[in-house]
């Protein structure tokens, strides 16, 4: 399969709030490979934990590891949906979402960590399939989300940067070794 190189988005292609995620990502010379490597790294980092360990919160008002994994799944679904809409040329303004409300509603602490990781892998596989299927010209498509500019290209970088950010949080705040 031919590598899908996606150039770095310019700052007018995303809201400033996403700049931190995008800055975490090296230039994407092969989008599908980058997604696959990160999927493997995330899974290998979290999978050794027991359900009890995955219930850990580093502070009372912070998410548990299970809630963080559920959040990464939800966030990626939403970002990939936005990528789909823009990739198909749909310029309908897209709404934002409140991540903390989603975490509460997901009730991830009631689930097995293995099930959450299975979901993460399925979500990432679906994102990879979407990336493989987008025509090259679709990556430049732009629209708005949460009343801010966004491009399909920026969403790929946001997806990769968001997961990387949370891998770093797992390592630095939860003591989860990164592999």
Q: What pLDDT, in 10s, does the model give residues 102-142?
A: 999 999 999 999 999 999 999 999 999 999 999 999 999 99
Q: What domains lie within the chain, and their CATH numbers? A: 11-174 (1.20.120.450)
- Residue 2: the pLDDT is 83
The mean predicted confidence, pLDDT, of the chain is 97
- Arithmetic mean of pLDDT, 57-62: 96
Q: Does the pLDDT at position 1 exceed 70?
A: no
Rounded Cα–Cα distance for residues 67 and 4 (Å): 32
Determine what percent of the chain is predicted with pLDDT higher than 90: 98
Share of the chain above pLDDT 70, in %: 99
Find the mean pLDDT for residues 164-170: 97
Return the residue matching tokens 């809201």.
Answer: 15
- Categorize the per-residue pLDDT at 179 as very low, low, confident or very high, splitting at 50, 70 and 90: confident
DSSP helix/strand/coil, 178: coil
Write out the two tokens for 82: 């936005």
Angle between helices 152-174 and 65-87 (to 10 degrees): 170
- What pLDDT shows up at residue 90? 98
pLDDT value for 62:
97
Q: Residue 150 forms beta bridges with which residues?
A: 143
């Amino acid at each position: 399969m031919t590598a899908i190189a996606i150039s770095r988005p310019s700052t007018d292609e995303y809201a400033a709030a996403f700049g931190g995620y995008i800055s975490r990502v090296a230039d994407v010379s092969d989008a599908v490979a980058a997604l696959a490597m990160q999927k493997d790294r995330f899974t290998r980092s979290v999978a050794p934990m027991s359900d009890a360990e995955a219930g850990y919160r580093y502070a009372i008002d912070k998410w548990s590891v299970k809630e963080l994994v559920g959040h990464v799944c939800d966030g990626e679904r939403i970002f990939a949906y936005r990528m789909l809409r823009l990739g198909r040329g749909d310029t309908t303004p897209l709404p934002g979402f409140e991540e903390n409300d989603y975490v509460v509603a997901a009730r991830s602490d009631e689930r097995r960590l293995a099930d959450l990781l299975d979901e993460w892998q399925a979500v990432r596989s679906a994102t990879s399939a979407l990336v493989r299927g987008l025509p090259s010209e679709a990556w430049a498509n732009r629209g708005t989300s949460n009343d801010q500019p966004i491009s399909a290209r920026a969403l790929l970088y946001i997806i990769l940067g968001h997961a990387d950010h949370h891998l770093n949080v797992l390592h630095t705040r939860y003591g989860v070794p990164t592999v």
